[in-house]
Structure 1
Amino acid sequence: MSRGSTLVSPYVRFSKAEWSRLRADEPMTLDAGDIERLRGLGDPISRQEAEEVYLPLSRLISLYHEAMQGLHRASQAFLGTNGGKVPYIIGVAGSVAVGKSTTARILQAMLSRWPASPKVDLVTTDGFLFPNAVLEARGLMARKGFPESYDRGRFLGFLSDIKSGRPKVTVPVYSHLAYDVVAGQSILIDRPDILIVEGLNILQPGEAPKSGNPVLFASDFLDFSIYLDAEERDLRRWFLERFFRLRETAFQDPRSFFHRYARMEEDEARAFALSAWEGINKPNLVDNILPTRSRADLILKKGPDHAIAEVALRKL
C-alpha cells in the first residue's frame, strides 16, 4: 500500500444506540416470556437487547427480502417464465458458544410475525455432520465441527432443493444428547418464504478448481449472512461456563454422550473442557470460522458481557 493511501472498509459501523434508531416505527412483537423461551443456555440476552438490535435487523431483512422478490419477478418477466416464489435464505455463522442458536431463533420468531405472516423455517448444519461411525472410520472424531466432518454434498443438495422451490425437503436430525445423527429420522422443510440456516462454517467459500469449471459452495445460496463475533478470550470463557451448566443439567441424564463428565471431579472436568477448547474449538475458530467473518453481510460484535456492542453492515 502506497504512503498516504487509506484502507476503505466495506462496512458501515454502528454503535448499539445508532443501530437501535434504525428500527423506525417497527413494533416489538416479542415479550419477556418469548425471549426467555428462545435464548440459549448461557446467553443472557434481554428483551431490551432484542428490541435494540434484532428489531432493526428484522426491518432491514424485510426490506432486503422485498427487494429480492422484486428482482426475481423482474427476471421472470424478462424470461417469460413463472417460477413461483424463491425462498430467501439467511445464514448465521460464528464460533461455538457465541450465541448463534439464540440469534437464529429470535430472528425466526420476529420474521414470522411480520404483517404478511411469512413461513420462516430454521435448520442447523448439525444434521449434516457425518454420523459418528463414519467420523470414527475416517479418523475425524476429534475434528467434529471442522469442515471435513460435514456431508457437504448432501448439504449443498439440500440448499439447492430449497432454492429451487422443491416441496418437502428432508433434513437429518441431530441429537445433542446422543452427540450423533439419529439414524432414520428427519424433518421436512416445505417451501418456506424464509429459511434461516445456522452453523459454524456456512460462510466458507472453499477452493475453486483450477479448471475454471463452475462449482457451488453453501455460501452461494445465502441471500443474507450474519456473523456473530467476539474476542477469543470471551468465547473461551463462555464455552467453559456453558460446559459447567450442561454438566449440572443435560449431562446428568444417563443417556447423554457426556454423562461421564457429570461424574468427574470439578478439576478433572475443567481440564477436559480446556483441552476441548484448545485442541478442537480454538483451532477450528482460527483456521476455519474467523477467516469467513469478512464475507458476512452483517457482523454483530459482542462484548465480554455477551451483549452486542457494535453492528457492521456491508455496503451495497
Structure 2
Amino acid sequence: MDQVSPSSLSPYRYFSVEEWSKLRADTPMTLSAEEVHALKSMNDPISISEAEAIYLPLSRLLSFHVEAKDKLYAVRSKFLGAKEGKMPFIIGIAGSVAVGKSTTARILTELMARWPGHPRVSLVTTDGFLYPNAVLAKEGMMERKGFPESYDVATLLRFLSDIKAGKRKVRAPVYSHLTYDIVPGETLIVDQPDILIFEGLNVLQTRDLPRDGKEVPFVSDFFNFSIYIDAEDDVIRRWYIDRFMSLKGTRFTDPRSYFHRYANIEDDEARRVAEGLWERINLVNLDENIRPTRPRADLIIGKAGDHSVNEVALRKL
C-alpha cells in the first residue's frame, strides 16, 4: 500500500495489524486452520492467526453494517407504507490480479455464513461476465481481457439489479480458468442470498458521467460495502510471475488448458512470457483502471511482500 501519512484530511482511519486485531472483541473463530488453508488461493499463504487478526474484525464490522441496513430498510418500508422485496447486502471486492482477492472473498464467505442465524451467503466473480474469447478475438481485444471494455456490462448490471430486487434464481455465467473462457450453456444460480460477495478487478470502476445528468448505473452503485486489496507494483508483479510458474507445472499441463503451450517450455522462457504478460496487460490495467478506483473503497487491506496484511484503512463515516 502506498504509504500515505494519515491526517485529519484523509477520508480513512488507518490501523496497524495489532490495532485492527483488537477490534475482533469476542467474535468467535469458526474456521479451523485446515479450512483456512483449503480456502486460500495458489501462492497466497494465509495462517489461522492472520485470519483471526484481519478477517474476524472485518466480519464483526460487516455484521454491524448488515444489521444497520436491515433496520434502515424496516424504517424506510414503514415510511413508504409498502414492504419491498428481499434486499440482500452486497459486498464488492476489488484489486489487481494475483493480489489475493479470491482468498479474501472465500474466507469472508465462510465466516459470514457461520454467523448466528446462518445467513445465506453467495460468492460471484466478474470473470463470468467477460465476453467469450471468440468475441474478444473478433474485436481484437484478447490483450485487453480484464479491462473494463472486455466485460458484458449490460448483463452484469442486469444480474446485480435482479439480485438487489430480490428476484428468485438469478443466473450468472460461469468462467473456466482452465480453458480461460466462458463455459457455454453453464450458469450459476443465485437464489435470494442474504449476502452477496461480488469479486473482480474493476468492480469499483466508474464511467464518464452523462452531460444530460440522466441516470447511469455503475456496478458499485449496487454495493453496500466495498473492499480493495492493495500491494506495491513490484510485489504484485513477483506474485503474478510466481503464480504463472506454479501453474506451468500444474494446471498448464492439462491439454485442455488455454496455456498448455507453456507447460513444456524452459523455465527461463516461461518467466519471460509471464513478465511480458504482466508489463503489457496486467500492469497497464492496474495503472489505468484498477488502482484509480482504490479511493472509492470503504476498506483498504494493504499487503506486504510475503502476502501478510500490514495495514488496514477504514473509511470514516
Output the TM-score relative to the length of structure 2.
0.97
1:31-89, CA deviations, whole angstroms, 9 ceiling, x for partnerless residues? 11111110000001110000000000000000000001111111000001111431000
SS, match of residue 202 in structure 1? coil
SS, match of residue 226 in structure 1? strand
2:66 aligns with: 65
How far apart are 1:208 and its partner, in Å? 1.0
SS, match of residue 314 in structure 2? strand
1:11–1:313 Cα contact (<8 Å) kept: yes
1:310 aligns with: 311
2:3 aligns with: none
2:97 aligns with: 96
1:112 aligns with: 113
How far apart are 1:265 and its partner, in Å? 1.3
Residue 196 of structure 1 aligns with an amino acid whose one-letter code is I
2:86–2:165 Cα contact (<8 Å) kept: no
1:133 aligns with: 134
In structure 2, how many angstroms separate the alpha carbons of the residues matched to 1:100 and 1:295? 16
1:187-210, CA deviations, whole angstroms, 9 ceiling, x for partnerless residues? 100000000000000001211111
How far apart are 1:171 and its partner, in Å? 0.5
In structure 2, how many angstroms separate the alpha carbons of the residues matched to 1:214 and 1:48? 45
In structure 1, how many angstroms separate the alpha carbons of the residues matched to 2:266 and 2:20? 45
In structure 2, how many angstroms separate the alpha carbons of the residues matched to 1:11 and 1:76? 32
2:11 aligns with: 10
In structure 2, how many angstroms separate the alpha carbons of the residues matched to 1:169 and 1:310? 36
Written as runs of structure 1 = structure 2, the 5 A alignment for 1:154-233 is 154-233=155-234
Output the TM-score relative to the length of structure 1.
0.97
In structure 1, how many angstroms separate the alpha carbons of the residues matched to 2:184 and 2:15? 45
Residue 181 of structure 2 aligns with an amino acid whose one-letter code is D
SS, match of residue 280 in structure 2? helix
1:300 aligns with: 301
SS, match of residue 215 in structure 1? coil
1:130-164, CA deviations, whole angstroms, 9 ceiling, x for partnerless residues? 00000011110111000000000100000000000
Q: What RMSD over aligned residues (CA atoms) do the two structures have, in Å?
A: 0.8
How far apart are 1:110 and its partner, in Å? 0.1
1:74 aligns with 2:70: no
Identity %: 59
In structure 1, how many angstroms separate the alpha carbons of the residues matched to 2:155 and 2:64? 31
Unaligned stretches of 5+ residues in structure 1: 1-5
In structure 1, how many angstroms separate the alpha carbons of the residues matched to 2:61 and 2:279? 37
1:83 aligns with 2:71: no
How far apart are 1:7 and its partner, in Å? 6.5
SS, match of residue 196 in structure 1? strand
1:121 aligns with 2:122: yes
1:274 aligns with: 275
1:69–1:85 Cα contact (<8 Å) kept: no
Aligned residues: 311
In structure 2, how many angstroms separate the alpha carbons of the residues matched to 1:12 and 1:216? 28
In structure 2, how many angstroms separate the alpha carbons of the residues matched to 1:308 and 1:50? 10
Unaligned stretches of 5+ residues in structure 2: 1-6
